[in-house]
Amino acid sequence: MIEFKNVSKTYEINGGTCDALAEASFDIKAGEFVSVAGPSGSGKSTMLKMILGKEKPTSGQVFFKGEDISLIPAREMSKLRQLVGMVFQDFKLLPKRTVYENIAFAMEMVGKPNKEIEEDVPQVLDLVGLADKSGSFPYQLSGGEKQRVSIARALIHRPEVILADEPTGNLDLLNTWDVVRLLLKINELGTTIILATHDREIINNLNKRVLTLNKGRLIRDEENGRYIL
Amino acid sequence: MQFLTIQRIIKAGWNNFWRNRWLSLATISVMFLAIFSASVLVLLNVIGQNILITLQNKVDVSVYIKQEVGEQEINKMRSDLMFLGEVKNVSYVSSEEALAKFKERHQENPTLMESIAELGNPLLPALNIEANNASQYDAIISFLENGKYKESIEKINYKQSKPLIEKLSNFSDKVKRGGLLISIILAVVAGLVAFNTIRLAMYNFKNEVEVMRLVGASDWYIRGPFLVEGILYGAFAALSALIILTPLLYFFSPKISILAPDSNIFKWYTDNFFLFFLLQLILGIVLGGASSIVAIRKYLRV
């Protein structure tokens, strides 16, 4: 479903260059749960941003369902993003909207009728365990709750793949496992999950496929992998 | 775009507007000042025009006609003058009328009265000419001095009023040009201030725009609510300008009338009320809407 072909990304910093990703090639099949491991600055976020079309590769190609993402015009980009749900380390919720509205927003913009929104949002809130927080604003929630809202939002329009960029980076241990369990549950329901994390504990306990990155290079790609550097 | 989408955009815009009431209020105040000062400038121009027209109406040129010229000839002269494009009105004052007026004016001066009684009527019949515009008197005078009526004319009092007429005509041109320039400058300043205020207000939403973008909202779905918000700012600012301006004019109109007796600014305002409000509203909406679009454009490039 997702394919990287010799993808490199080079940033220019103060006249010098910095390789965020160097000649990475791999593919991810529909329904997989893939962890992307590596220390901070190893290129995990860059990789996810490319799938979302936020960054373009300096060389090489990224395909989503056979389509070269860098060839999608900016105007059409929102269509790609509606097929891809993204969960961020800093949640990226809309601060002036309630939990309900934050989630409904993802459905509204694809033009879903009100009736469907009124049915689906409570269901998803139930799934992430926030049925009683529907009317709260983001500042009234704890970190773990915010992340669950963010996952609910990524989930609501039934995307084919969910990208989670350090979703547990701001959370304590208990909330971290809540989020990971939630992602596993969503994966069981058929959605492809790509989880980027530098958390050794999570990777070692998941027993799923692991892509290990170091300094922009893909150094390991293992089924049932562990975090080894 | 579907009706449902438009409905949602309007609702989101209204929510933004209402949930950030303080920010909205601050923005509206600045836009109110812009619209209010533009309105005041328009009104000042109207008042200025009225004062000038009043002054111009006070200036006329009297043509004194020789005693021996018959009334028929004078009437012909009058109708010929009326035929000129520059002439607004010509009134005829016969020597008897002139004498009556003179007597009335000086009845408390016995010396003058006595000498008038002795002399008979020394006053000449006159034509008082009013031009449409103070600068046109020259043309009218030259028509009289060089035309067929040259012989019938004793004296034209233009020379005495000429400096006044010229000054007035000069002044009126300057006021028109200066007023326009000042109005334009102030309007631009007010517009820029309002624009910057909206830009700062939108800066708060920078992150929000990025989030919307990343969860897959289309350009118009992001821009729409901000546009609605900008339009709301403008509409409310126009409305407040109207609410403040109306009583102000009601109270100050009589005072302005002292300065320019022929002008009733409040009447002018009520006569043009809807047009005036419409213009304020359009100014507000265009200013608010355009500022929002320009301000948000920068953050849409994610």
Q: Is the pLDDT of residue B151 over 80?
A: no
The reply to whether B118 and B253 lie within a common domain is no
A133 DSSP 8-state letter: G
Query: Which pLDDT score is estimated for B262?
Result: 63
Using a CB-CB distance cutoff of 8 angstroms, which residues of chain B are in contact with residue A105? 212, 215, 217
Centroid of chain to Cα B240: 22
The reply to whether B231 and B267 lie within a common domain is yes
Domains along chain A with CATH numbers: 29-56+78-222 (3.40.50.300)
Using a CB-CB distance cutoff of 8 angstroms, which residues of chain B are in contact with residue A54? 214, 302
Query: Which pLDDT score is estimated for B210?
Result: 81
Q: Does A65 touch chain B (CB under 8 A)?
A: no
pLDDT category of residue A36 using cuts at 50, 70 and 90:
very high
The reply to whether B277 and B255 lie within a common domain is yes
The reply to whether B218 and B284 lie within a common domain is yes
Distance CA B89, CA B98 (A): 18
The reply to whether B103 and B241 lie within a common domain is no
Residue ending a domain, choose from B109, B125, B160: B160
Residue in this structure with the two tokens 């479903």, named with its chain if needed: A1
The reply to whether B134 and B94 lie within a common domain is yes
Token pair for B79: 């109708």
The reply to whether B198 and B279 lie within a common domain is yes
CB pairs under 8 A between A and B: 59
Query: Which pLDDT score is estimated for B77?
Result: 81
B211·A97 Cβ contact <8 A: no
pLDDT category of residue B239 using cuts at 50, 70 and 90:
very high
**ipTM over the 0.95 cut-off:** no
The reply to whether B267 and B131 lie within a common domain is no
Contacts of B256 (CB under 8 A, 6+ apart): B47, B263, B265
A111·B2 Cβ contact <8 A: yes
The reply to whether B129 and B190 lie within a common domain is no
Residue ending a domain, choose from B123, B141, B160: B160
Token pair for A16: 């010098």
Q: Which domain holds residue B26?
A: 3-55+169-300
The string of pLDDT tens digits covering residues A105-164 is 888 877 788 899 999 999 989 888 899 999 999 999 998 899 889 989 988 878 899 999
Query: Which pLDDT score is estimated for B1?
Result: 56
Query: Which pLDDT score is estimated for B26?
Result: 87
Distance CA B99, CA B109 (A): 15
Query: Which pLDDT score is estimated for B70?
Result: 80
Residue ending a domain, choose from B160, B184, B210: B160
The reply to whether B82 and B198 lie within a common domain is no
Query: Which pLDDT score is estimated for B160?
Result: 62
Number of structural domains chain B divides into: 2
**Mean pLDDT of the residues in chain B:** 81
The string of pLDDT tens digits covering residues A42-89 is 889 899 999 988 888 999 999 999 999 988 888 788 888 888 888 888
The reply to whether B294 and B179 lie within a common domain is yes
B214·A80 Cβ contact <8 A: no
Q: Stretch A155-177: mean pLDDT, rounded?
A: 87
Token pair for B246: 């109306």
Q: Stretch B86-91: mean pLDDT, rounded?
A: 82
Q: Stretch B86-99: mean pLDDT, rounded?
A: 82
Query: Which pLDDT score is estimated for A108?
Result: 84
The reply to whether B116 and B49 lie within a common domain is no
pLDDT category of residue B294 using cuts at 50, 70 and 90:
confident
Half-sphere exposure of B299 (CA within 13 A, CB side): 23
